[in-house]
Amino acid sequence: MAEEAKKTFKRDKPLVNIVTIGHVDHGKTTLTAAITKVLADAGGANYETYEDISNAPEEKARGATISVSHVEYSTANRHYAHTDCPGHADIIKSMITGASQMDGCILVVAATDGQMPQTREQLLLARQIGVEHVVVFINKADVVDNEELLDLVEIDIRKLLTEIGYDGKNTPVITGSASLRSGGRGTVVSGTLLRGVIQTGQEAELFGYNCSFSSVITGIEKLHKSFDQAEAGDNLGALVRGLKTEDVRRGMVMCKPGSIKPHQKVQAQVYVLSKEEGGRHTPFYSNYRPVMSSLTWQINATLTLPADKELAMPGDYTSMTLMLIYPMPLEKFQRFSLREGNQTICAGVITDILTD
């Protein structure tokens, strides 16, 4: 392995030392593994799995014992020596002892939690020891069904960066998921199991946005551990056979074949948010086209008010018909919101499924 690494990484480019920092379980090691996977596909790294990195050997540095993994990879312009420490204490010790002379750091923040105590502590320490360059990765965006929440997490992190002394306005912030691919065995779809039980070997259907795919669940992962089944309420990743990453889109639903049908037209009861609640200042009329958000999908829809209602005022309760531009997973009593840009204007519930 050592000889292979020497052959792969010739010192013909500038070397940059970086480290992943962030709160526990926000996905630091998963991101490191994902980086090596992407660059291994491009011929610039040896793929290191999550297990390879998390089983970090102990090293001695100035009297401190540190569990630390070092991975190395190349891009078109640079070589990178990437340090990943599995535990908060290991990251702190690594920075204090100088086990890794860092040129920059990747701050990993889970979209599900936002800024946490270790986020601040580690970023502050990085600033104090002279780490000048920071890139922020907002992880687990695939399990957050509210775009406003992602925006709030980014705003909060930029504020923290500025407070600590970094350029919060211009620091690169990337939003995504570090765990959507799995070494050529299929595609990992992630989300929350809303009801029932899923098991490995079970047939599954994925649909949404006028697309539908049949597959088989070949693996289930929760908290970086493999399981044979998952139950309602679990946040998980499911490895599905025969699908490419580009086949799957945020907002699609995976279910038992035939158990849920896509629909395009529904009857709904909604509350129109008032100006004081962050809603519109003015009324809207039939044929208005907001964005409908439900589960983890967002799609344009055209609304029609009842025949005896000319307009809907902020603060009104009203029924309406919604026609989506594509059939999507819709059921009676499913909740949704209507948005205009970054503004939520209505909250509603589906009362009936309509046929065209």
Work out how many domains the chain is built from and give that number: 3
Q: What is the rounded (10 degree) CA torsion for 69, 73, 75, 77? A: 90
Q: Do 245 and 308 reside in the same domain of the chain? A: no
Tell me, yes or no, if 23 is annotated catalytic.
no
Tell me, yes or no, if 28 is annotated catalytic.
yes
Domain boundary among the residues 175, 206, 240 is at 175
Averaged pLDDT, 265-283: 92
- Considering 13, 25, 103, 113, which one is annotated as catalytic? 25
Q: Do 272 and 344 reside in the same domain of the chain? A: yes
Q: Do 154 and 110 reside in the same domain of the chain? A: yes
Tell me, yes or no, if 344 is annotated catalytic.
no
**E strand or H helix at 324:** strand 317-329
The pTM for the full model equals 0.53
Q: Do 162 and 204 reside in the same domain of the chain? A: no
The pLDDT value recorded for residue 1 is 43
Q: Is residue 241 part of a domain?
A: yes
Using a pLDDT cut of 90, give the percent of the chain over it. Answer: 35
Between CA 323 and CA 300 the distance in angstroms is 9
Give the domain CATH number at 150: 3.40.50.300
Domain boundary among the residues 208, 223, 255 is at 255
pLDDT above 70 for 199: yes
Q: Is residue 49 part of a domain?
A: yes
Which residues form the domain of 234?
187-255
Between CA 302 and CA 211 the distance in angstroms is 21
- Of 50 and 62, which is predicted with more confidence? 50
pLDDT above 90 for 233: no
Question: How far is C-alpha 50 from the chain's CA centre?
Answer: 17
Averaged pLDDT, 66-74: 77
Q: Which of 89, 87, 68, 84 is nearest to 25 (CA)?
A: 87
Q: Do 165 and 246 reside in the same domain of the chain? A: no
Of the ranges 159-173, 191-205, 231-245, 307-321, which one carries the lowest mean pLDDT score?
231-245
- Considering 88, 133, 224, 263, which one is annotated as catalytic? 88
Tell me, yes or no, if 26 is annotated catalytic.
no
Q: Do 95 and 15 reside in the same domain of the chain? A: yes
Domain boundary among the residues 122, 154, 175 is at 175
Q: Which of 258, 257, 234, 238 is nearest to 248 (CA)?
A: 238
Strands 133-139 and 173-175: parallel
Q: Do 196 and 275 reside in the same domain of the chain? A: no
Q: Is residue 64 part of a domain?
A: yes
The pLDDT value recorded for residue 292 is 93
Q: Do 163 and 194 reside in the same domain of the chain? A: no
pLDDT above 50 for 59: no
Average pLDDT value for the chain: 84
- Of 181 and 200, which is predicted with more confidence? 200
Q: Is residue 182 part of a domain?
A: no
**Phi, psi angle pair for 45, to nearest 5°:** -165, 165
Q: Do 38 and 138 reside in the same domain of the chain? A: yes
Assess contact for 79 and 11: CB atoms under 8 A: yes
Averaged pLDDT, 305-332: 94
Averaged pLDDT, 249-274: 91
Q: Do 209 and 290 reside in the same domain of the chain? A: no
Q: Is residue 180 part of a domain?
A: no
- Considering 23, 26, 28, 79, which one is annotated as catalytic? 28
Between CA 146 and CA 84 the distance in angstroms is 30
SS3 category, 29: helix
pLDDT above 50 for 339: yes
Q: Is residue 166 part of a domain?
A: yes
- Considering 29, 36, 296, 318, which one is annotated as catalytic? 29
Q: Do 271 and 339 reside in the same domain of the chain? A: yes
Per-residue tokens: 19:
């480290």
pLDDT above 50 for 274: yes
Assess contact for 290 and 345: CB atoms under 8 A: yes
254 burial (CB, 10 Å; 0-12 / 13-18 / 19+) is: buried
Residue with tokens 């190349």: 74
pLDDT above 90 for 161: yes
pLDDT above 80 for 3: no
Q: Do 167 and 223 reside in the same domain of the chain? A: no
Give the domain CATH number at 329: 2.40.30.10
